[in-house]
Structure 1
Amino acid sequence: MLHRTNEPFTDASPNEGHSLQEVYRSVRVPASGSALRRLFAFVGPGYLVAVGYMDPGNWATSLAGGSAYGYTLLSVALLSSLMAMLLQALCARVGIATGQDLAQLCRDRFPRPVAWGLWLLAEVAICATDLAELIGTAIALKLLFGIPLLAGVLLTALDALLVLWLQHRGMRWLEAFIVAMIALIAGCFLTEIVLADPEWGAVFAGYVPSASLLTDSTQLYLAIGILGATVMPHNLYLHTATVQSRAFGPDERSRREAIRFATLDSTVALSIALLINSAILILAAAVFHTSGHTEIAEIQDAHQLLAPMVGAGTAATLFAVALLACGLTATVTATLSGQVVMEGFLRFRLPPVLRRLLTRLIAIVPAVLVTWQYGESGTAHLLILSQVILSLQLPFAVIPLMLFATDRSRLGALAAPRWQSVLGWTATALIVSVNVKLLFDAIAG
């Protein structure tokens, strides 16, 4: 599989192009001062990754899972988030230790047919992500402003202007926007949970895995959807590139510190994402499942029922505001990921606006067709399907990541420690196993 050489991994040469060149090593890391000050220089890329873990596709799977099975699938959200924290920590390690992103490493270290296959799968994953964000944003525009769903789908193409403006302002502006949006989303759901008043004993019990996850095919389908919506393949490519926006020193000591701080950044950010994802599922379980509404999959239905069932019109408004914020922030993630994948695999750079419009055009076609043919009733099925597609693509990003992160012949002392290697390969085996079972169940009917 890997092209073996005797050379260790080293930072890419100054003449070699880097993905996201406009922000490469653009954030200064102080050489002196307190550890807290140096840590602050690394805070940001983890939050860019975290927004991909709470996109509108996650809403559909969490709403469907919470309304149908109560708090049972909280264990899946927890397990998925723990795997995500581990895998994103390995991404930070690989990006900092090698000076290349995951797409560049796949291009350089795998045979060409393998690299091209991985590129195509990564593009499919990004389009599936973009599809979920597109539909979610269009639904939010309809709920807040009454814009027809089909018109909202077409309007979402304009979000390329937001991404362009943020990229032009610089990495810190981009990260500040993302952090502000995450704070808004968290505030909305904190208020929602207070209004819903869930049974906290049942909530905590939901974090304990249930055997029904493997015996109930519908529950497994939703669980895999949550897995695909939480551990997202394009985020693995993105994180290996964004950690290189920090101008850390080239020596081993500086890189070790960079790995430690980048890991802390992504772990804290993903912990916040876990709380938000849990809040969506808890809200669905507390409001819908306990009242007998066990088939809530459409986001629009959830919004319509929230106000009368919770007893506060504010709940429905906050729900729609949080959805819009999730759609807009996840748009940034998909755009940057698409740029990293195309530049890394193909060494081909497109203007960001053209890249964004191309990705959005590919995603907009199925969204327009489903919206035109089925109206609002088809959006939930499309959202959940997009997350299952992401889960099916995940092994093709995780396995290369693990191969690079554990390759001591090239990373040397910066390779993943044994405990991370064991847990990482265990998570990889679990991801592959649940996807194989899903395919087997689909074939067997």
Structure 2
Amino acid sequence: MAFEERSDQAAPSGFASGARQASLDESYRSIAVGGKNPWRRFLAFLGPGFLVAVGYMDPGNWATSIAGGSQFGYTLLAAVLLSSLMAILLQALCARFAIATGMDLAEACREYFPRWVSRVLWVLAELAIVATDLAEVIGTAIGLQLLFGLPLVWGVVVTALDVFLILYLQAKGFRRLEAFVASMILVIAFCFVGQLILARPEIAAVLGGLIPSPEIVTDNRMLYLALGILGATVMPHNLYLHTGILHTRAYALDKKGREQAIKYATIDSSTALGFAFLVNASILILAAAAFYGSGSGQVDDLTDAHALLQPLLGSSLAPILFAVALLASGLSSTVTATLAGQIVMQGFLKLRMPVVARRLITRGFAIIPAAIAIVSYGEKGAAELLVLSQVVLSLQLPFAVIPLVLFSGQKRQMGEHMPPRWLLATTAVIAVIIVVLNAKLVFDFIQAGF
């Protein structure tokens, strides 16, 4: 289904006008949001936020949070909290931008920037999606190994079959896809609640960890993990994803309809990301209570974390819950990565590709380095690759955040739906912080000779 004319959408004329094809045209404006009952309208908007939120609790988060919690205790909880607050504000800006302009971020980059700039941004966005998929490949393979004893290399190969799950869910409709992801999030949350009950963390220490420590910036290893947490939390592909999937809702295209859509979409994403923060915090708290508190030292490997849980917590249930949550995380994250890939490719290039082909290409780029790392270095290589993938995501983040803030701050594009000054100013500061921290990370790497 083609986009309506810009005049029909009563939106600003800053971007090129004319009929355009939606990135997810099979689901474009397929979900009705009408009715006089505000609660029913809100429920109609409930869903995109959870598709976004699942990317904030994928296996990459596990690697960085477990490494951070086992090595530094509760100190990096502040990084989880600040990253989550950044994510909530950036996704709120995504919702406003998408609904105000009727476009997704990839499409806006293609129309607004010179062609060479948009192509560079497209390549960087694809790299971010591959890095995301790499984390999902390794995480899902580890989950299969822990639950069923499947060798890690074969688990990596099996992950290519998840394309059939995605095809099945998309054939059932977008709401079914959202329901699947939401159910996986509930499984993850249930598993971590059970593990935290067994771990019995110190509440005072947890609350103290929410206060930022100067060590996070001065200690290179801590900064590395903090940036990994940032990259695993505020993920570049989620900015493209959110601005694309909001167009599955058939909200009214007048001023009032857009304002209501912005309100409900913001509540949806903020609620979902608040829930994601609790899950991410639980992962780090579990690692701090089980590993750091017992003097086990740094635990970078998810397999080691799984093996240590039973003797440390005194229950055979703990490692089972860990493995089930990890598998649920990998399966749900793969759905959102595929959707983001469709939005990015079609938005930047106007290129349509069958879901199977798109998924297999992206997964191929993730499977190859994962398989090489596992064959060459074993499980330790997979663990290091998992953490590195999150730092790569953090390095890619400015190239998605800066265009989003730039577009959202222009009256010509946003019209009467301009974001509040405080939101625009705060997200601009977030963009600067991300750039500065990434620059410091690169400088430290160069200084240390990689």
| TM tier, smaller | over 0.9
Counterpart residue number, 1:356: 359
Counterpart residue number, 2:324: 321
Q: Does 1:259 align with 2:262?
A: yes
Structure 1: distance between partners of 2:90 and 2:372: 35
Counterpart residue number, 1:418: 421
Secondary structure of the structure 1 residue equivalent to 2:353: coil
Counterpart residue number, 2:232: 229
Query: Does the CA contact (< 8 Å) of 1:10 and 1:99 recur in 2?
Result: no
Query: Does the CA contact (< 8 Å) of 1:135 and 1:367 recur in 2?
Result: yes
Q: Does 1:401 align with 2:404?
A: yes
Measure how far apart 1:8 and its partner are: 2.2
Amino acid across the alignment from 2:400: A
Secondary structure of the structure 2 residue equivalent to 1:23: coil
Query: Does the CA contact (< 8 Å) of 1:238 and 1:336 recur in 2?
Result: yes
> Which of 115, 119, 128 is matched with 1:116 structurally?
119
Amino acid across the alignment from 2:435: V
Measure how far apart 1:406 and its partner are: 1.1
> Which of 28, 38, 42 is matched with 2:32 structurally?
28
Secondary structure of the structure 1 residue equivalent to 2:252: coil
Measure how far apart 1:11 and its partner are: 9.5
Counterpart residue number, 1:278: 281
Q: How does 1:23-422 map to 2 (within 5 A)?
A: 23-30=27-34, 32-422=35-425
Amino acid across the alignment from 1:238: L
Counterpart residue number, 2:4: none
Secondary structure of the structure 2 residue equivalent to 1:193: helix
Structure 2 gap segments, 5+ residues each: 1-10
TM-score (ref. length: structure 1): 0.97
Query: Does the CA contact (< 8 Å) of 1:141 and 1:147 recur in 2?
Result: yes
Measure how far apart 1:214 and its partner are: 1.0
1:58-100 Cα deviation digits (max 9, x unpaired)? 1000000000000000000000000000000111111111111
Structure 2: distance between partners of 1:11 and 1:310: 57
Structure 2: distance between partners of 1:84 and 1:91: 10
Measure how far apart 1:15 and its partner are: 3.5
Structure 2: distance between partners of 1:260 and 1:297: 40
1:342-385 Cα deviation digits (max 9, x unpaired)? 00000000001110001000111100100111111111110010
Structure 1: distance between partners of 2:16 and 2:169: 27
Amino acid across the alignment from 1:20: L
Measure how far apart 1:408 and its partner are: 1.2
Structure 2: distance between partners of 1:298 and 1:208: 27
Structure 1: distance between partners of 2:13 and 2:62: 40
1:112-168 Cα deviation digits (max 9, x unpaired)? 110000000000000000000000000000000000000000000000000111111
Query: Does the CA contact (< 8 Å) of 1:9 and 1:97 recur in 2?
Result: no
Secondary structure of the structure 2 residue equivalent to 1:349: coil
Query: Does the CA contact (< 8 Å) of 1:93 and 1:414 recur in 2?
Result: yes
Aligned residues: 438
Secondary structure of the structure 1 residue equivalent to 2:293: helix
Amino acid across the alignment from 2:149: G
Structure 1: distance between partners of 2:20 and 2:428: 31
Structure 1's consecutive aligned runs of 4 or more residues displaced over 6 angstroms after TM superposition are 10-14
Amino acid across the alignment from 1:16: R
Structure 2: distance between partners of 1:357 and 1:169: 21
Query: Does the CA contact (< 8 Å) of 1:83 and 1:231 recur in 2?
Result: yes
Query: Does the CA contact (< 8 Å) of 1:47 and 1:175 recur in 2?
Result: yes
Secondary structure of the structure 1 residue equivalent to 2:93: helix
Q: State the superposition RMSD in angstroms.
A: 1.2
Query: Does the CA contact (< 8 Å) of 1:232 and 1:391 recur in 2?
Result: yes
Structure 2: distance between partners of 1:339 and 1:240: 12
Amino acid across the alignment from 2:161: L
Measure how far apart 1:9 and its partner are: 4.0
Q: Does 1:431 align with 2:434?
A: yes
Measure how far apart 1:410 and its partner are: 2.3
Secondary structure of the structure 2 residue equivalent to 1:21: coil
Distance 1:11 1:256, change over 3 A: farther
Query: Does the CA contact (< 8 Å) of 1:12 and 1:99 recur in 2?
Result: no
Structure 1: distance between partners of 2:250 and 2:363: 32
Query: Does the CA contact (< 8 Å) of 1:29 and 1:246 recur in 2?
Result: yes
Structure 2: distance between partners of 1:333 and 1:11: 27
Structure 2: distance between partners of 1:155 and 1:351: 20
Structure 2: distance between partners of 1:169 and 1:178: 14
Amino acid across the alignment from 1:199: E
Structure 2: distance between partners of 1:13 and 1:115: 18
Secondary structure of the structure 1 residue equivalent to 2:212: coil
Structure 1: distance between partners of 2:443 and 2:43: 47
Structure 2: distance between partners of 1:27 and 1:17: 18
> Which of 17, 22, 39 is matched with 1:18 structurally?
22
Distance 1:187 1:9, change over 3 A: farther
Query: Does the CA contact (< 8 Å) of 1:86 and 1:420 recur in 2?
Result: yes
Secondary structure of the structure 1 residue equivalent to 2:286: helix
Query: Does the CA contact (< 8 Å) of 1:92 and 1:263 recur in 2?
Result: yes
